[in-house]
Structure 1
């Protein structure tokens, strides 16, 4: 870049300076646009990764909840079956006791 001629301002090529300025600004604008596009692509990638992580975490939590609920239902069913057998045994014991009493009378 040439030095600015302080002594003779009227003879300086102002149009050339203006053209160089616009060219430099256009180069900066192109670089800024390219950087913005790159950042937008990176943000899309980051958002997709974040979104997928959230979905995966939610699916994992839902599966764990489902397993816990299934285990609770299975335990409840086993407990009810155990109580049913116990009550059946108690009724049979009473029936046997009543039969013994009937035989004695």
Structure 2
């Protein structure tokens, strides 16, 4: 009858007798897992800092390169403008001489 009472007291969801849990071991494993996670995080942060240094060097080099290219482009444009101004000045001078020649020719024709 005692066995029937134990069976009646236990429902299908009741697991029965639980063994004592070692909370000290659990706490020690938990702390060790946290320390391990902190070490991994620290390693990742150190790797990230190293990569940031490489990125900064790369970015600075790219910036210098872009600045040099910009200066060269500006110099090329300045040369182009100077050549265009010289060409325009020569055309203006030539056309001024042509106009003077026509004026001289008209003056000679009007005197006759």
TM-score (normalised: structure 2): 0.65
Which residue of 1 is the match for residue 99 of structure 2? 87
| 2:49 paired residue number | 37
Alignment gaps of 5+ in structure 2 = 1-20
1:56-85 deviations in Å (ceiling 9; x for gaps):
222222221221112111111110000101
Q: State the SS of the aligned residue for 1:57.
A: helix
Q: Note the alpha carbon deviations across 1:15-49, whole angstroms, 9 max, x for none.
A: 55344433322321221111011111112112222
CA–CA distance in structure 2, aligned partners of residues 54 and 48 of structure 1: 10
Structure with higher RCO (Cα < 8 A, 6+ apart) = 1
| Structural mapping, 1:21-60, within 5 Å | 21-60=33-72
Moved more, 44-53 or 73-82: 44-53
The equivalent residue for 1:67 is 79
Larger Cα Rg: Structure 1 or Structure 2? 2
Q: Which moved more, 1:43-52 or 1:80-89?
A: 43-52
TM-score by length of 1: 0.68
